[in-house]
Structure 1
Amino acid sequence: MLSKIIPELGHFALILALLMALFQALVPMAGTLTRRPLWMAFARPLAGGQFLFLAIAYLCLTASFLLDDFSVAYVANNSNSMLPWYYKTTAVWGSHEGSVLLWSLILGGWGFAVSQFSSQLPRDMVARVLSVMGMVCSGFLLFVLVTSNPFERLLPNMPQDGADLNPLLQDFGLVIHPPMLYMGYVGFSVVFAFAIAGLLGGRLDAAWTRWARPWTNVAWAFLTVGIALGSWWAYYELGWGGWWFWDPVENASLLPWLSGTALIHSLAVTEKRGSFRSWTVLLAIITFSLSLLGTFLVRSGVLTSVHAFANDPARGTFILVLLGLTVGLSLLVFALRAPRMSHSVGFNWLSRDALLLVNNILLVIMTVTVLLGTLYPLLLDALGLGKISVGPPYFNALFVPLTVLLCVFMGLGPLARWKQTSGRELFKRLAAAGVAALVIGMVAPLLYGGEWDLWVSLGLVTALWLVLSLARDLFDKLRNASSPGAGVKRLSLAYWGMVVGHLGLAVTIVGVTMVSNYNVERNIRLAPGESAEIAGYTFAMQELRERRGPNFIADTATIAVSRDGEHRFTMYPEKRFYLARGMPMTDVALRPGLLRDLYVAMGEDLGDGSWAMRVQFKPFVRWLWLGALLMAVGGVLAVVDRRYRRVKRRAEQARTADAAGLEGARA
């Protein structure tokens, strides 16, 4: 009996979560305006209650999948009785309605986290931050209940079985990629809330920066991992062997990452020097706005992509209105309040301040470049001016030189001093690193590929410049210490986070450079007993057999791989046919390695016992995702720096000052 009412319980929990979100949006903010401590104190329990009811709704939808309740339209469209249980749990977010519920759950989770880890904040600041987050969550919960209810029933004409989950999504990548990506997307709502709360409260000082900066870094780290997982998933799942396609939906996640990277560096300047305050707040607004824009692009139907979730214009209109209200109102608050809190701090144009400003400008230009390339075709189509396609040539022609220029200034930044730096001193410290990077980068292609290549040299010089400049800075810091051990202990985790993050970018650049220029790909025809040689490896098909999976039938090839006449390993690519959907899928065989991947994908049955095969040799492709992981680790290291853990004393001081202020207001 209980199983039959689970969807109704989930729907009711969503309604209660919306009510909690509305109260969270209104009551604490009203408390800050009327200086009522009790109303402000409601912020934390309301955030907890909202998250609790969202979790109940999510668990109810998960239970409907596990119980094969095909009376629920969303379950019937995205599950099947033969679907393995672990894919049923991930099918919850496999399509539009469930993914928006997951988004809302994560948004509520971020709000709950702020309520639990904000003891060092004054009560009025907590109230404003959680109130803004309540407003955002109210908008998304209205979106779920009005246009995307995952608990809608198909009664009385329910199907006997479900349509099954899209075979593209029946993969481990679905388990980890969307939650990580959403954690990053939604995490920027916390920074946005801090920005609006700081503007409303007239507080954009160093303390505000210390409160906002850890949340920014954590959200950025999640988004970095999410984007990398999406790249990795597309690489091995789609059968093309590519790692980035400049797909509009991929660009939608890259946009907030670029502006979020600028925000992280701008926050560093604001905390250290007190400058860039208005710019930092504006970046926080832009970054979350770009997250909402990505949601609109994915769910509005304006894009055709393997990554897109929905094509309902009504949903797109709702999100567009939500985006317009969020951006419009936040920019209005910024325009009214930011000029009153502007603060000018002088610095020389050869200083760390100036170099970080240049990096910010370059990152914003890169963001605008991707934004224009993504939206321009859509605008032309909407205006009836024709259809055009903006692809890799446009993005590569602009993005590559901007990245190189960005890295040049990234190498200079850590060695420059705040406020003013001597040009002679900077040149002296970096001359050796620059020469070494240039020489090694120019010679390396001759040693690896046998001939010189401009683009390979440019990529390697850029990566080496980042690594060697970091090495020089670390060497100077350790050399000036009384002992090597003392020097290492003196360096903060925030500094090590910067080192690891910049090193991760260098590793990614090497991976992009090598796989883009030295990738070997061949489309071949293979039958049992036949072989082909690619990049020094011999691929021999030994047999072809049929096997049955839980919800598919597969043709599996056994391919022995040898080199220099010696057998190395065996690969098993498959061509699957999913029974419920009647959909064929390629299951790629991969032999990963630190210096290269071997990649075999089965194509079509050619009818004479042979199959079309795509075989690829992909050098250093793993470095792409290793570099992204290092960047994320760098962001996390910066968060756990001890200056962000010294909260007890500050919490007591903040509460004392808060209480004194309220008593003064009553008097």
Structure 2
Amino acid sequence: MIVELGHYALVMALAIALLQSVLPIIGSRRGDAALMAVAPPAAVTSFALVALSFTALTISYVTSDFSVQNVWENSHSLKPMIYKISGVWGNHEGSMLLWILILVFFSALVAYFGANLPAVLKANVLAVQGWITASFLLFVLLTSNPFNRLNPAPIEGRDLNPILQDIGLAIHPPLLYLGYVGFSVCFSFAVAALIEGRIDAAWARWVRPWTLAAWTALTAGISMGSYWAYYELGWGGWWFWDPVENASFMPWLAGTALLHSALVMEKREALKIWTVLLAIMTFSLSLLGTFLVRSGVLTSVHAFATDPTRGVFILAILVMFIGGAFALFALRAQSLSHGGLFAPISREGALVLNNLFLTTATATVLVGTLYPLVLESITGDTISVGPPFFNLTFGPVMVPLLLAVPFGPMLAWKRGDILAVTQRLYAAAGIALLTALGVIYFATGAPVLAALGIAIGVWLLAGSVTDLAYRAGIGRVTVPVFWQRLKGLPRSAFGTALAHFGLGITVIGIVAVTAFSTELVTSMKAGDKVQSGPFELEFQGLQPHNGPNYTELQGRFSVSRDGVAYGEVMSAKRVYTARQMPTTEAGIMTTGPSQLYVSLGDETPEGTSIVRVWWKPWVTFIWYGTIFMSIGGIVSLLDRRLRIGAPVASKKRKTTAEQSA
């Protein structure tokens, strides 16, 4: 009964979404307050219904109800409970239901927190959200229904894909979808503003918190996905330029540009048209990512579906929303004012430069991702665009941006003094230069480019600290006054500094592990020893072990440093009973910011085991930096100036204004 209730809730949610998508728009065009007032309760009701449906599917997984086809295909009665719950979205149908749940959740948030939005704008925003919701509910109900029944019901399930039986599945997809879908609110605000024909600084003030929330979640989601692939797949890499990885990275790049562009629009009422265009582009790239993952056009460990029918349906949604939004933009762009003017050397100018490099980087990744697909569809030729292309095109675009980052926050609005800012950054530049020289001196044979890359990371760290120090008046006021000013800085200032600081940490981690990591592939038997980095590993042999729904051979390695026992690393070859699918469980030992990474391969006819050993210096900085960036986003969201919507005048002030009139 609970399964039918979940299915019925989805049908009802579709009906409500259709009402939400039509009535408020009609009301905004007619000036009918009653019709516009339909939008908020409709959005909240849709969320309640989809939440009920999602709960019903989760209960089916928890109780191992194999009469539900989706549960039978992706679960097993012996699977640990955490994987039964996370397995709800470890498949195409369930993940789409999670996608829609987050979509209607954001709609409900707009309805709740948008009390002080202009009535017309709020109605149009929620109506556009209704269009998106209705489209994806139709997609799920017609092509990807998670509540299909099996009769008779199987006794046991086929189990979840072994690669997905990990804590990463519980964290990565929800965070990623919060980012993907969060940008739908920015898209809806952009389309709503184009429908109304009104875009101003207040609009940017309403959009920026949603952009920041989505960007923060997407940053955390991509980071978690990177680390999950790093330790789960046993390849020893943290980023592969996989097309589906790129599909999440492109909205992040565009969203970063949107975040900075909206700031210019809010402060100076400049870049209006560009900001609206970025809002459309960012969510369009999110939809493109959804299409790539679920259409079957890509072969990837990240891809969910290979059914071309589903791909055609999502392509239709893609064309409808992207094409419709850009057509509306083309119709309205000429009637929109361009906003205020500013000097090239100013904070606005620095943010424009930021946007230029970020959008160029996005275009580079987009071309590299889609070119093989386009070429194959036209000529039938199959090619692969891999890391060499992206490293040679993406890297050079990002280096000038990284060098310019510390200048932006320290420049004045409208007209800045580049010489004065350069003088303030002398100390940061000196620290970066000393770091480069130190790397070259202490890391014998270190590539010059590696030293420069680490110096750029340190430049970002020192630059972010310098920004806060000068805002607080370092060198101009006494120490007690400096601390009082520092504590009194707006939270958005700390959020920006944390994000830039985190970017510097990530850059250091990327450069260090790329330049200084070592890899050893060898065959070993019990008692054999190998050297990796500063450590010596001794193979202790293989040991069988049984898990709840798998069997494995564990390879144990004792680790020593300079002859002193340091610890133990265990890697395993695992086979899941239901699917008979093998996986490699990497063994990782973390020491400071570096890691020793061991991957156990197959046994050879001679009775030895193939072993891959990596020494990865400073690799954890890659993910520590993204944590700082995410925390920076959260801190900025806590700034009182980023309240959603515009301030509402108090009754006392309204009465005074009426009396004076």
TM exceeds 0.5? yes
Assess, with a 3 A threshold, how the Cα gap between structure 1 residues 484 and 602 changes in structure 2: closer, same or farther: same
CA 1:481–1:262 in 2, change beyond 3 Å: closer, same or farther?
farther
Offset at residue 455 of structure 1 (A): 2.1
How far 1:612 moved relative to its partner? 1.2
Q: Are residues 1:310 and 2:305 paired?
A: yes
The residue that corresponds to 1:216 in the other structure is 211
> Is the 8 Å Cα contact of residues 128 and 192 (structure 2) preserved in structure 1?
yes
Q: Does 1:127 align with 2:134?
A: no
**Following the alignment from structure 2 to structure 1, what is the Cα–Cα distance between the partners of residues 419 and 166?**
55
Counterpart in the other structure of 1:665: none
| Local SS of the residue matching 2:555 | strand
State the alpha-carbon separation in 1 of the partners of residues 334 and 644 from structure 2: 31
SS of the counterpart of 1:119?
A: coil
Structure-2 residue corresponding to 1:163: 158
Partners of 1:603 and 1:611 within 8 A in 2: yes
CA distance in 2 between partners of 1:594 and 1:436 (Å): 22
Q: TM-score w.r.t. structure 1 length? A: 0.95
Show the counterpart of 1:56: 52
Give 1:577 shift. Answer: 0.9
Contact 2:469 2:486 in 1 (8 A): no
- What residue identity is the alignment partner of 2:465? A
| Residues 1:365 and 1:260: Cα distance change in structure 2 (over 3 Å) | same
Write the distance in 1 (CA, Å) between the matches of 2:654 and 2:619: 55
Q: 2:501 pairs with 503, 506, 515, which one?
A: 503
1:80 to 69, 76, 81: 76
CA distance in 2, matches of 1:649, 1:335: 32
Would you say the 8 A contact 2:209–2:644 is kept in 1? Answer: no
Deviation string for 1:589-614 (max 9, x for gaps)?
11123321111111102244421111
Matched to 2:189, the amino acid is F
CA RMSD of aligned residues (A): 1.9
Task: Report the Cα offset of residue 132 of structure 1.
Answer: 0.7
Q: Check the 8 A contact 1:221/1:635 in 2, yes or no.
A: yes
Residue in 1 that maps onto 2:247: 252
Match of 1:365 in 2: 360
Match of 2:7 among 8, 11, 14: 11
- After TM superposition, list the pairs within 5 Å mapping 1:193-204 onto structure 2: 193-204=188-199
1:394 aligns with 2:392: no
Out of 297, 303, 316, the residue aligned to residue 321 of structure 1 is: 316
Give the aligned partner of residue 470 of structure 1: 464
What's the secondary structure of 1:575's corresponding residue? strand
Give 1:503 deviation, angstroms.
0.6
Letter in 1 for 2:381: G
Is 1:593–1:622's contact at 8 Å kept on the other side of the alignment? no
Mapped partners of 1:38, 1:176: distance in 2: 41
Deviation at 1:461, TM superposition (A): 2.2
Supply the distance in 2 between the matched residues of 1:374 and 1:441 (Cα, whole angstroms): 34
Q: Which runs of 5+ in 1 are unaligned?
A: 661-667
Moved more, 378-387 or 335-344: 335-344
Distance between the aligned counterparts of 2:623 and 2:304, measured in 1? 25
* CA displacement at 1:423 relative to structure 2: 3.6
Residue type at the aligned position of 2:178: M
Post-superposition shift, 1:469? 2.5
Q: Distance in 2 between matches of 1:489 and 1:645?
A: 20
1:437–1:465 Cα contact (<8 Å) kept: yes
Whole-angstrom CA distance in 1 between matches of 2:324 and 2:25: 15
* Candidates 567, 570, 573, aligned match of 1:572: 570
- d(CA) in 1 for partners of 2:562 and 2:418? 55
Q: Contact 2:411–2:418 (CA<8 Å) still a contact in 1? A: no
Q: For residue 598 of structure 1, what is the aligned residue in structure 2?
A: 596
8 Å CA contact 1:481–1:487 kept in 2: the answer is no
Contact 2:206 2:645 in 1 (8 A): no
State whether residues 120 and 651 of structure 1, in contact with CA within 8 Å, keep that contact through their aligned partners in structure 2.
no
The corresponding residue for 1:461 is 455
Matched to 1:208, the amino acid is W
- Conservation of the 8 A alpha-carbon contact between 1:73 and 1:152: yes
Count of residue correspondences = 652
- For 1:45, the equivalent position in structure 2 comes to 41
1:403 lines up with 2:401 in the alignment:
no
Distance 2:223 2:621 in 1: 11
Cα offsets for 1:198-218 (capped at 9, x unmatched) = 222233222111111111100
1:517 has 2:515 as partner? yes
Say whether the 8 Å CA contact 1:350–1:423 is kept in structure 2: yes
Amino acid at match of 2:145: N
Task: Give the match's secondary structure for 1:451.
Answer: coil
Q: 1:638 aligns with which of 633, 636, 639?
A: 636
The alpha carbon displacement at 1:656 in A equals 7.8
Q: Match of 2:540?
A: 542
Cα offset, 1:160, TM superposition: 2.4
Distance 1:246 1:584 in 2: 24
Output the CA distance in 2 between the equivalents of 1:436 and 1:626. 21
1:297 aligns with 2:292: yes
State the match for 1:36 in structure 2.
32
1:65-144 equivalent positions in 2, closer than 5 A:
65-144=61-140
Question: How has the CA–CA distance of structure 1 residues 481 and 320 changed in structure 2, closer, same or farther, with 3 Å as cutoff?
Answer: farther
- Greater shift in the superposed pair: 223-232 or 490-499: 490-499
Q: Decide which of 576, 581, 584 is 1:583's aligned counterpart.
A: 581
1:418 aligns with 2:394: no
481-490 vs 247-256, which moves further: 481-490
Matching residue's letter, 1:56: L
Which sits farther off after the overlay, 638-647 or 202-211? Answer: 638-647
Cα distance in structure 2, aligned partners of 1:328 and 1:470: 40
Q: How far apart, CA to CA, are the structure 1 residues paired with 2:438 and 2:543?
A: 48
In 1, Cα distance between equivalents of 2:419 and 2:584: 58
Alpha-carbon distance between aligned partners in 2 of 1:563 and 1:469, rounded to the nearest angstrom: 37
Structure 1 residue 427: Cα displacement: 3.2
Render the CA deviation track for 1:437-469: whole Å, top value 9, x for unaligned: 23422332321x212412212211211222223
Task: Report the identity percentage.
Answer: 46
Match of 2:530 in 1: 532
Q: What amino acid is aligned across from residue 409 of structure 2 in structure 1?
A: P
Residues 1:351 and 2:351 aligned together: no
Contact 2:208 2:642 in 1 (8 A): no
Q: Which residue of 2 aligns with 1:225?
A: 220
| Residue 634 of structure 1, CA deviation | 1.2
Is residue 2:333 matched to residue 1:338? yes
Q: Per the alignment, do residues 529 and 427 of structure 1 end up closer, same or farther by CA in structure 2, a change over 3 Å counting?
A: closer
Quote how far apart the aligned CAs of 1:646 are: 8.8
CA distance in 1: counterparts of 2:75 and 2:329, whole angstroms: 46
CA distance in 2, matches of 1:452, 1:570: 30
Partner of residue 178, structure 1: 173
SS at match of 2:425: helix
- Cα deviation for residue 87 of structure 1 reads 0.9
Distance 1:605 1:632 in 2: 42
- Matches of 1:524 and 1:418, distance apart in 2: 59
> Does the C-alpha gap of structure 1 residues 536 and 408 become closer, same or farther in structure 2, counting only changes over 3 Å?
closer
SS in 1 for 2:648: helix
Aligned to 1:664: none
User: Partners in 2 of 1:469 and 1:648 — Cα distance?
Assistant: 33
For residue 370 of structure 1, report the CA deviation from its aligned partner.
0.1
